[in-house]
Amino acid sequence: MNDQKLRVGVVGLGFAGRTALEAFAELPDVEVVALAGLEKDILAELGEKFGVPQLFEKWEDLVEFPGLDAVSIGTPTQLHAPIALAALDKGLHVLCEKPLARTVAEGQAMVEAAKKAGKVLKVVFNHRERGDVAALKHQIDEGQLGRIYYAKAHWMRRNGIPGMGGWFTNRELSGGGPLIDLGVHILDLALHLLNEPKVTTVSANTFAELGPRGRGSSSSVIRPTVDTLGSKFEVEDLATAYLRLEGGGALQLETSWATYRAPGDNFGIELFGTEGGAKIEVQNYTSTDTLRIFTDVAGVPAEVRPATGAGLGHRAVVSEFVAIVQSGDWSAHIGSEALVRTQVIDACYASAQAGREVVLDA
C-alpha cells in the first residue's frame, strides 16, 4: 500500500472523532473519504472544513461504502464492537478509541475478528505518547530504575463527570464510570512502562457518592446524542484497585470523576525500583516540568528533572496506525494489548461487585 493513499472513513463527531479526523488530514499519504455522525449540522461543517466527499448519518452506511481501506471509531463505547466487527468483516483495518470495548466478551470478539480477517485493530492509548512518558520509558529500558516492584497510578478530578445525563453516565452505553474511562488510560501507562507484566489478581472498590446526587458535573458539557438524553447516573464516580503482578510486583490504581479534593483534573504515576524511583504528575493536562527521577549521587539522595516535550498524543497514534497498515506486517497488531486492559478492568468491576479479590485467568 506504499504507492497509494490510505482511504479512511471516520465515525464519530465528538472529541475523539474530530481529533482523529484532524490527525488523518495532516498526513500526506492518507485521504479521509467518508465521515459519519448523527448531528447533521456538525457533520456538514466538518465535511466542508476537511473536504470529506462522503457524509453519512449512519455508521452502517459508511462501512458499506466501497473503496475504504480503514475505519476510525470515535463513538460511545457501546458502538466500538459493532462497528469494528462490521468493518473487519468487510476487510477493513480498524483504529478504535479507548477502551477497546465494554466487556471482555466484546473485546475478545473484536480481537478474534481482526485475527480472522488478517487486519489491524489498534486502540488509541494517546497518553503513552506524551513526552514525559517516552522519556521515563527510556530511563526504565536503560535500567536506571532497576527492578520496579511497586507502582501507583491515579487520575483524579474534583468536578469532572462528563456529560451528566448523557452516554458517559449510562452503564449500558459506556460500560462503567471513571474506571473504564480514565482508569484504562493509567492502567495502560503503568503496564506499558513496566514492560507488560501479567496481572494475576485484582481487589477493587467502586463508589457512587456524588454523581447520583447531581454533584461533580464537568463545566464543559459533552453534547449528548438524541437517544441518550435524560440518562440516569448509573455508574461509579470513584474507583480504587490493588493489582498483584506476576513476579511479585504490585500496582495501585485510583481514579475518580468527582470527589472532594483540591480543584483540578490531575493524573500521574509513581514507580519504585531497586535502583531508583520516578514520578510523573500532570495537573490540568500540563506538559512541562512533570517528570522526576529519584536516585543517589555519591551516596546522597538526588532528584533529576528531565526537560521533556509535550509529545504528539493522538497524532502519534494515528501516524503509527497508518505506518503499521502500510508496512503490511499486521499479525502482531490485532488488539491483544488492549484486550488485556479490558480483562483487568472487567476483573476490577467483578471484584468490586463481589466484595473480594478476583483471580485473572492464566
Dist. CA 3–CA 6, nearest whole Å: 10
Angle, vertex CA 353, rays to CA 170 and CA 338, nearest 5? 65
Cell of 49: 472544513
Cell of 51: 473536504
Length of the chain: 362
Helices and strands in the chain: count of H runs, count of E runs: 11, 15
DSSP secondary structure string for all residues of 5-28: -EEEEEE--SHHHHHHHHHHHH-T
* Domains within the chain, CATH numbers bracketed: 6-126 (3.40.50.720), 131-310 (3.30.360.10)
Per-residue pLDDT of the chain (362 residues; tens, 9 = 90+): 445 899 999 999 999 999 999 999 999 999 999 999 999 999 999 999 999 999 999 999 999 999 999 999 999 999 999 999 999 999 999 999 999 999 999 999 999 999 999 999 999 999 999 999 999 999 999 999 999 999 999 999 999 999 887 889 998 889 999 999 999 999 999 999 999 999 999 999 999 999 998 899 876 544 444 344 456 899 999 999 999 999 999 999 999 999 999 999 999 999 999 999 999 999 999 999 999 999 999 889 999 999 998 889 999 999 999 999 999 999 999 999 999 999 999 999 999 999 999 999 86
